[in-house]
Structure 1
Amino acid sequence: MASLKRRADGVWRARYRDAAGKEHAKHFPRKVDAQRWLDEVTASVVTGRYVDPKAGRITFDMWWADWSARQVWARGTLEAAKQAADSVTFGDLPMSALRASHVEAWVKSMSQPAASRKGGLAASTIKTRVTYVRMSLSAAVRDRVIPEDPSSRVPLPRIRKAEASMAIPTARGVGDALREAPEWFAPFIGVCAFAGLRLGEAAGLQLADVDFLRRTIRVDRQVQGATSKTVEIVPPKYGSERTVFVPEELTTMIARHVEGFGTRGEEEWLFCAPSGDLWNRNSAGNQWRAVRDAVGLGEHTLHDLRHFYASGLIADGCDVVTVQRALGHSSPTITLGTYSHLWPTAEDRTRTAAAGLMMSAFESPADSVRTEGT
């Protein structure tokens, strides 16, 4: 319901009631301007773009605090989302004032060096941060706080292809690291490199998770947190609970570790730092960096050992589903998106098949007779 009325002082008063019955009014010196405003409001209602003018007055920081508190997130996701929100450059702006230009300026600021870092953030990190912010802005559109998402068409830095950005250590490098590592840390490296466990999953292993007879490792939990004070035992990433089939040499390494160093606590944790605490992101990372630097492994991380494991499975002919289950990916799509460049292409298979045909065609008669006679 809308109306237009001229007051005694000559000013035109335009007003309407929204779907909730709340009245909104605005005054104009000219009737044509008042009518245009009412027409715009009516059009926004018809097209579903109407928002309460007062709703957009809250700042982005205020909206984020309200929206994020309603989300059901694992701790790691919550930390990543908060980091994204803390990095925006428009937190104090009213939601109704947000424009694509503000988001573009934020993206550019992340792409450039800052006081806390030598270079800009990686394109993948920028994409992750923008994704969280975009989720909150999309929710604001659904809740009629803003009419549209100002970030929807903002271009992001291009992410390097997996084959260009993925760092995979060599078998010799991994072997050197195992020989260099202290005896109490080598098996930790082993389960990352030869079972494909993530750092937190390796840190969360208990003695009961290892079946020495069947040569399997069960992944049922992970250690989350960067320090001993923030450590938390949580389930693995969604879809990552799994049983990994491992070589006998790895279970033997673990058995020797238990025999030499024992386990910790009633839970019988397998791997602990010299302090007695469970390994966490910082402590395990620091220990690994000391080992890799000693053997010249460059900038390889513990997570790169997981890539090493995956590349070995693929090189040995394992299919996508097998690799997916071994790594604990929630779907084969994730596995292909990460490692598709490691699988042989159609050209590779064609070339190999043709080489086999050539070998058969040029096989000597004596070899042919000998083969037929066996």
Structure 2
Amino acid sequence: MANRKGARARFGNIRKLPSGRFQARYVGPDGLSHNAHTTFDTKGDAEAWLATVRADIVREAWSPASVTSTRQALTFGTYAERWLSGRRLEARTRAHYRSLLDRQILPTFKGVPLRHITPDLVRDWYATTAIDTPTLRSHAYGLLRTILAQAERDETIRSNPCHIRGAGNSKRVHKIKPATLPELEKIVTTMPERYRLMVLLAAWCQLRFGELAELRRGDVDTKAGVLRIRRGVVRANGERIVKKPKSDAGIRNVAIPPHLLPLVRGHLLEHTEPGKDGLLFPAKQGGHLAPSSLYRVFYRARAAAERPDLRFHDLRHTGAVLAAQTGATLAELMGRLGHSTPGAALIYQHAAADRDMELARRLSALTGTQETT
């Protein structure tokens, strides 16, 4: 009895893949090695599948044609759904991937067997996908490449057919022009009073909308002149989700410029919800402020400042450039902005250098002379 169990156990073999899933393979009556048409969540599932194959062989119901057709029947749509459901992702990232799949990727690849996706098919899809939105296009290509890379690691396909150089990278389409101090002043004075401090903190403290919308009384220390950034609020699948910053660098204390402190104290008295957990910038009906509610009045304010190109998030860029102009080091900028890598902070230093050169040219212009070559 024990020998018969051992014999059954020796049919085929199972290995654990880097993804954590299990792959089953066996040598068929044709003397060739065959992989299962899919990978399995558990080793027990893989063993059960091998048992059914062995039973087919014993009943002489096995054929290499049936194995091939089953393997080819695994479509991209089926595999992509399983890939997405098996990933631990933040709600906002999952919603983004869901949107990319539904709108950009699945309309072309849903019913295509994985093994039939060729480099030519990928190039044809890329040539016509989201051509007017390069960032969205690069995200869609990156997701397709990632899913097919996993299929390659699972040995479901022989190689990843995504080989378009640079397709996963996008260049910034919106070139940010920082607001000048007079423009910022005009925007602030045009905004409703309850939102004026929000604009000022976005610029002078370089805060994101989600960080501002989740600020509470307990996060504001007017004696020390500090804002404690510990959380942010994001919207995903129609729900508002309060969560910690993506990295430890996002958890930070931001010093409030002294000229804003009287305005902060006044706002706490007039517009903030009561209690330690009261929101600093609540919606009129209470609860978190929706971006659309702010944008309706912000758009009018930026028009009054003759800056229709300025997005609310660009105020953070404005403040970062101003901080860089004061001589802030790269490390200081990273700390203030909550960046874990220096790449983004370097952008602000470069922008400040460009503006400093412009100031130097204007100073020279005052003398009525120019450099000669």
The two structures have a TM-score, normalised by structure 1, of 0.72
State the alpha-carbon separation in 1 of the partners of residues 63 and 348 from structure 2.
59
1:216-227 equivalences under 5 Å are: 216-225=226-235
State the alpha-carbon separation in 1 of the partners of residues 88 and 275 from structure 2.
31
- Residue number in structure 1 paired with 2:266: 256
- 2:337 is aligned with 1:327: yes
Task: State the shift of 1:251 in Å.
Answer: 2.8
Task: State the shift of 1:25 in Å.
Answer: 5.2
- Residue number in structure 2 paired with 1:110: 129
State the alpha-carbon separation in 2 of the partners of residues 189 and 25 from structure 1.
70
- Residue number in structure 2 paired with 1:93: 112
- Residue number in structure 1 paired with 2:194: 184
> Would you say how many aligned residue pairs link Structure 1 and Structure 2?
305
Q: Which amino acid aligns with 2:321?
A: S
What SS does the aligned partner of 1:306 have?
A: helix
What SS does the aligned partner of 2:193 have?
A: coil
Identical aligned residues as a percent: 22
Task: State the shift of 1:19 in Å.
Answer: 6.6
State the alpha-carbon separation in 1 of the partners of residues 166 and 257 from structure 2.
46
- Residue number in structure 1 paired with 2:150: 139
Verify the 8 A CA contact 2:197 2:263 in the aligned structure 1.
yes
What SS does the aligned partner of 2:315 have?
A: helix
State the alpha-carbon separation in 1 of the partners of residues 160 and 296 from structure 2.
41
* Pick aligned residue for 1:84 from 75, 92, 100: 100
* Pick aligned residue for 1:71 from 82, 87, 98: 87
Bigger mean CA offset, 296-305 vs 259-268: 259-268
State the alpha-carbon separation in 1 of the partners of residues 281 and 151 from structure 2.
45
Unmatched 5+ residue regions in structure 2?
1-10, 12-28, 37-49, 365-373
What SS does the aligned partner of 1:193 have?
A: helix
- Residue number in structure 1 paired with 2:257: 247
> What is the RMSD of the two structures over their aligned residues, measured on CA atoms?
3.2
Q: Kindly tell me: are residues 278 and 100 of structure 1, through their superposed partners in 2, closer, same or farther at Cα, counting changes over 3 Å?
A: same
Task: State the shift of 1:331 in Å.
Answer: 1.6
Could you report, residue by residue, the CA deviation over 1:342-367 in whole angstroms, capped at 9, with x for unpaired residues? 2548x97xx99xx9xxxxxxxxxxxx
What SS does the aligned partner of 2:129 have?
A: helix
Task: State the shift of 1:52 in Å.
Answer: 7.9
Task: State the shift of 1:161 in Å.
Answer: 6.1
Q: Which amino acid aligns with 1:230?
A: E
Task: State the shift of 1:292 in Å.
Answer: 1.7
Q: Kindly tell me: are residues 157 and 237 of structure 1, through their superposed partners in 2, closer, same or farther at Cα, counting changes over 3 Å?
A: closer
Verify the 8 A CA contact 2:123 2:164 in the aligned structure 1.
no
State the alpha-carbon separation in 2 of the partners of residues 212 and 289 from structure 1.
30
State the alpha-carbon separation in 1 of the partners of residues 185 and 170 from structure 2.
31
- Residue number in structure 1 paired with 2:5: none
- Residue number in structure 1 paired with 2:140: 129
- Residue number in structure 2 paired with 1:303: 313
Q: Kindly tell me: are residues 136 and 251 of structure 1, through their superposed partners in 2, closer, same or farther at Cα, counting changes over 3 Å?
A: farther
Verify the 8 A CA contact 1:103 1:154 in the aligned structure 2.
no
Q: Kindly tell me: are residues 208 and 146 of structure 1, through their superposed partners in 2, closer, same or farther at Cα, counting changes over 3 Å?
A: same
- Residue number in structure 1 paired with 2:20: none
- 2:324 is aligned with 1:314: yes
- Residue number in structure 2 paired with 1:231: 240
The two structures have a TM-score, normalised by structure 2, of 0.72
Verify the 8 A CA contact 1:16 1:25 in the aligned structure 2.
no
Unmatched 5+ residue regions in structure 1?
2-12, 28-50, 113-119, 356-374
Q: Kindly tell me: are residues 205 and 55 of structure 1, through their superposed partners in 2, closer, same or farther at Cα, counting changes over 3 Å?
A: farther
Q: Kindly tell me: are residues 101 and 253 of structure 1, through their superposed partners in 2, closer, same or farther at Cα, counting changes over 3 Å?
A: farther
What SS does the aligned partner of 1:225 have?
A: strand
Q: Which amino acid aligns with 1:152?
A: H
State the alpha-carbon separation in 2 of the partners of residues 128 and 246 from structure 1.
36
